[in-house]
Structure 1
Amino acid sequence: MSKETLKILRDSGWYEGRSIDIKEIEENLERLGYIVFPEVKNFLKEFGNLVIEDSINDETHNTSIRFTNYDNCGSFKSEEKYAGESLVPVGMIDSGYLVLFVSESGKVYCSTGKLGDNSIEAWENLISGGGGKPWGNF
């Protein structure tokens, strides 16, 4: 991970080995009909409940979002079709414009495509890298 990405994540409260209690987040997602897969739980334990002020891109990424209505959030069927697996919403990125997802296998996506094969790659691509790969380009 680049120094810039690491600094932004640390300034937001993240640290190596972070593991928060996700019981409330998990119960909320399950109430809305999502299956909270082990890889989603791992992401939430490490990166849940953060508000990341991305000074490089002048954006905010928020993993403390509580999704409150399954119908309003949608079931994200078109994104799941592109990803080829189930997705669970875990936050909002790009100052609330895009939904952040973690898949059953642990890959990280947003509303417009794939950010990375894992959370570290995804944060690097989102903050310091060239973004992600648009749907259909991976």
Structure 2
Amino acid sequence: MARVTDFSAEAKDALFAAGWTPGRRVDIADWCARLTESGVAVHDSAKAFLAEFGKISIEFSGKGISRAREAFSIDPSLCLGEEGRFFEWGQLIGKIIVPVGELDEGRSFLGIDEDGAIYLVVDWLGKFGSGCAGIESLVLGVAPETIYDSYPKS
């Protein structure tokens, strides 16, 4: 569970404005059922993250710390149909990456692994950080660490 002190003042303000509060819990049963039906193994880290940050949308743009700030939404239903992409990237890094939302109005997807690391999932793979640090990076416009700059050719 995230604490207010886990975030900078700027990130905290943005999260509060989007409806987040410490200890917040949303019902994730429908998301988990839909992901499971589509073949995704929803691990405990994803469940905890979605219960706390699910349905949070931050709608802004502009200059960030090391990349532009982009709107994002924590809602795994926005990733339905893309499960194979998450599975394949997860296979490459030896992790289970569960879809959790989208970035930049669906141009990119967000996922989380069993250790709580938040990923940018597109035709390349980046990592924003784990848990609160990952959320902070999304809010403040911190570029993800590149894990793979393109999908490896077989």
TM bucket by the smaller chain?
Answer: 0.7 to 0.9
Aligned-partner Cα distance in 1 for 2:80–2:144: 27
Q: Note if contact 2:95-2:113 (Cα within 8 Å) is conserved in structure 1.
A: yes
Superposed CA offset, 1:52-80 (max 9, x none): 123554522011351433xx442434421
**Aligned partner (choices 92, 103, 109) of residue 119 of structure 2:** 109
Structure 1, 50-59 or 101-110: larger mean CA deviation? 50-59
Q: Determine if contact 1:114/1:134 at 8 Å carries over to the other structure.
A: yes
Aligned to 1:86: 96
TM-score with structure 2 setting the length: 0.76
Task: Mark the structure with the bigger radius of gyration.
Answer: 2
- Aligned: 1:135 with 2:147: yes
Q: Does 1:60 align with 2:71?
A: yes
Runs of 4+ in 1 over 6 A off after TM superposition: none
Unaligned 5+ residue runs, structure 1?
A: none
Deviation, structure 1 residue 21: 1.1
Distance 1:114 1:82 in 2: 14
Shift of 1:129: 5.0
The DSSP-based 3-state class of the residue aligned with 2:138 is helix
Among 108, 121, 134, which residue is 2:133 paired with? 121
Question: 1:11-38 CA deviation, whole Å, 9 max, x = no partner?
Answer: 1111111111111111111011101100
> After the TM superposition, which residues 11-30 of structure 1 pair with which residues of structure 2 at under 5 Å, given as runs?
11-30=17-36
Distance in 1 (CA, whole Å) between partners of 2:106 and 2:99 is: 13
Deviates more, 1:58-67 or 1:72-81: 72-81
The match for 1:32 is 38
- CA spacing shift, 1:107–1:58, aligned 2, 3 Å: closer
Query: Which stretch shows the higher mean deviation, 77-86 or 107-116?
Result: 77-86
Rounded Cα–Cα distance in structure 2 between residues aligned with 1:7 and 1:83:
34
Q: Is the 8 A contact 1:39 1:106 kept in 2?
A: yes
How many residues are treated as equivalent by the alignment? 134
Alignment RMSD: 2.1
SS state at 1:35 partner: coil
User: Residue 51 of structure 2 corresponds to which residue in structure 1?
Assistant: 45
